[in-house]
Each structure stands twice: as structure tokens, then as C-alpha cells.
Structure 1
Amino acid sequence: MTYALPRAGEDQQVQFLLYRDEGQEPYRQLRLWIDVVEGAGGGDG
């Protein structure tokens, strides 16, 4: 999986919610707090 935040900044939250079948509530949650530096990373490989 690849995910890119739209802008640089500190303490940005990324949250992933996993659902089973047609469940209304997530059965797993992952919350990441990350710092994004402008111009760092990216690329195709």
C-alpha cells in the first residue's frame, strides 16, 4: 500500500479502520502520528 499526505507538517494523524464483511464498526484500528518533511521521499521505487 502507498499513501501520500497532501502537505508537509508535524504531528499529522493517519488512521486506518478495518471492517469485516458488512460490519458497521471497525474490528481493528491503527492510528499513526507522523511528521512529513517537504520534498522528502516519494519516487517510484
Structure 2
Amino acid sequence: AYGEPRARSDAKEVHIFKLEEIPFEKLVFDHDRILKDYLLR
């Protein structure tokens, strides 16, 4: 990917976190599980 991330019609805000600083408890829907599954690969 390239450029600066921007919130659009599908997101109110955009944030970039270091892996160890991802606030999993604040993620909505199943996004915490999706990220955790990916990181465990």
C-alpha cells in the first residue's frame, strides 16, 4: 500500500498502531479475531 490512510464513507476514523499497541478490545465486529488469526500465522 502507499499514500496516507483516510477515513471515507465506510469508516469514521483511521488509526495506525504498532503491533504491540493494537487496542483489540476497542475493535468492532469480528475484526479483533481476524487480526489475531492473521498475527498467529
| TM-score of Structure 1 vs Structure 2, range by shorter chain | under 0.3
Structure scoring higher RCO (CA < 8 A, sep ≥ 6) equals 1
Larger helix fraction of residues: 2
Larger strand fraction of residues: 1
Larger radius of gyration: 1
The alignment's TM-score, normalised by the length of structure 2, stands at 0.20
